[in-house]
A and B are shown apart, each in its own frame.
Chain A
Amino acid sequence: MLNFNQFILLLKGLQLTLEISILGMLAGSIIGIVIGFLRASKNPIIKNISRIYVEIFRGSPLLIQLFIIYYGLPILFDFNVSAFVTAFIAVTLYTSGYMAEVFKASIEAISITQWESAYSLGLPYPVIALQIILPQALKIALPPAIGVLILVIKDSSLASVIGFTELTRMSNIVRAQTFTTFNVYAIAALLYFIVCYAISRLGNYLEKRIGGNEIHKINY
């Protein structure tokens, strides 16, 4: 088995995993909201261009996006990026692809009477989007967003390949120190499982509490 110090190392890795996941999730959600509104627009040009963005970042593996940013960009421009920054950028872009689809679905789930009555009151588009549609969309988007968060926490394990020391890489390091391969990976798997399972149960609970009945109340 592992001794105590090595377990603390694994916990440190878990901390970094959660840090990069939550930071990436927040940044990606902000970008995702913008692109979600673009996706939900009526203008076919805007719709299709944003669709290309989403197809690229959802339709390609996170590993390759990591490689492009970590190995490709320093060749192109003349600076080096640290593993943390590339992991952050890659996770943000990857998340924004998923969150754009989530927000597109949430925005389209809002009854069109909201838009119509807001326009008939003479409100400009930014005000409608920010103050009327967005709060409702955020509520609807919460359960699938938690699913994306779990996806991000699991896919953050790929950042270990470019040297970002999160839980998976830390378990590789501890494994090299102690030569107890199976145990280290099993404990790391257990840590991932506890975190992700807890978050998914939280998501179920939130879904029940939020209910979605709010939509029916506003509909007339």
Chain B
Amino acid sequence: MKQGKGSLFMYVIHFGEIFGYLDILWAGMLVTFKLSVLTMLIGTILGIFVAIARLSKNRLVCFFSTMYVEVLRNVPVLLVLYIIYYGIPSHIKGLSFNPFWASVIALSVNSSAYESEIIRGGIKGIMKEEIEAAFSLSLRKMQVFYYIIIPHALRLIWDALGNQLVAIILGSSITSIITLGELTYNALEIGSRTARHFEIFVVLLLIYVVLGFILSSLFRLIKKLFLRPMNL
């Protein structure tokens, strides 16, 4: 605790107290994982649909999906979160999201815009000749999709997918503002219980950095082991 006014660094940094509250941090991490995994799954699935819509020949479909992507890429996630958590329930009487599902919806919708760009880049990166060759070998549409398009596109977009997952985990800290009990929120709670704000924030920052590092290393490892370039 502060010992007196008037000089710098009178505060004694003491990380020890945090260790008593590790279970709260772990609970928060579990919520963050749940939120991030759900967001990534839903965001990717939505992103596939939006990507296909953006590549469609139908000009109306193309226009609306492009608008969807551009709006979500240019509006802050926090505002999307507010709109879903406060805005929509205020219009529809009796509807209220709990913070977890509001966060899932907001984050996955936001992520789907970025995912659709990634997937669209992956699909476009496959040369037309490959697909034509596959069809000329009388493979059916579904077979072409499963054997040619998905493996090739996966290798092209793998790095970007990893970055997106890390971005989702970092972005999940925003949901603490609408009182979702994930990592940041629990850390704030520990901070107010122990009054050791500085220590807990430093620990929190290190947790996120280490998490991001582990995840991106994991993605690189999977790429090395399983996603060798195909012999085409």
Contact = CB atoms under 8 A, between A and B. Distances in A.
A168 B79 CA distance: 7
A64 B173 contact: yes
B202 A72 contact: yes
Contact of A59 (B6, B86, B88, B212): B212
Interface stretch (B7-15, B35-43, B121-129): B7-15
Contacts of B6: 78
Interface residues on A, range: 35 or more
Nearest to B204: A64
Contacts of A157: 76, 78-79
B86 A64 contact: no
A77 interface: yes
Given A55-B209, A76-B11, A77-B9, A182 B78 contact: no
A68 B71 CA distance: 31
Contact of B87 (A64, A154, A155, A185): A185
A185 B82 contact: yes
Identify the interface centre among A59, A155, A175, A182: most chain B CB within 10 Å of its CB.
Answer: A59
B204 to A, nearest CB: 5
Interface string A129-170: 000000000000000000000100011011011000000100
A192 B177 contact: no
B22 to A, nearest CB: 18
A181 interface: yes
Contacts, number: 125
Interface in B179-199: 184, 188, 191, 197-198
Contact of A72 (B10, B82, B83, B197): B197
Interface in A167-220: 168, 171-172, 175, 181-182, 185-186, 188-189, 192-193, 196-197, 200
B208 A64 contact: yes
Contacts of A77: 8-9, 11
Nearest to A200: B74
Interface string B1-41: 01001111111010000000000000000000000000000
B90 interface: yes
A154 B11 CA distance: 35
A161 B77 CA distance: 14
A75 B11 contact: yes
Nearest to B198: A72
Given A63-B184, A68-B198, A78-B10, A182 B88 contact: yes
B68 interface: no
Contact of A189 (B83, B91, B171, B176): B83
A72 B87 contact: no
B197 to A, nearest CB: 5
A68 B70 CA distance: 32
A59 B208 CA distance: 7
B212 A193 contact: no
Interface in B71-117: 71, 73-80, 82-83, 86-88, 90-91
A30 to B, nearest CB: 23
Interface string B152-196: 000000000000001000110110110000001000100100000
B147 interface: no
Contacts of B79: 157, 168, 171, 185, 188-189, 192
B60 interface: no
Contacts of B78: 157-158, 160, 168
Contact of B174 (A56, A61, A68, A193): A61
B145 interface: no
A119 interface: no
11 contacts: A59-B208, A59-B212, A59-B213, A60-B170, A60-B212, A61-B170, A63-B184, A158-B174, A181-B86, A193-B70, A197-B74
Given A60-B212, A189-B79, A193-B74, 12 more contacts: A56-B205, A59-B213, A61-B171, A75-B11, A157-B78, A181-B86, A181-B90, A186-B83, A189-B83, A192-B76, A193-B70, A197-B74
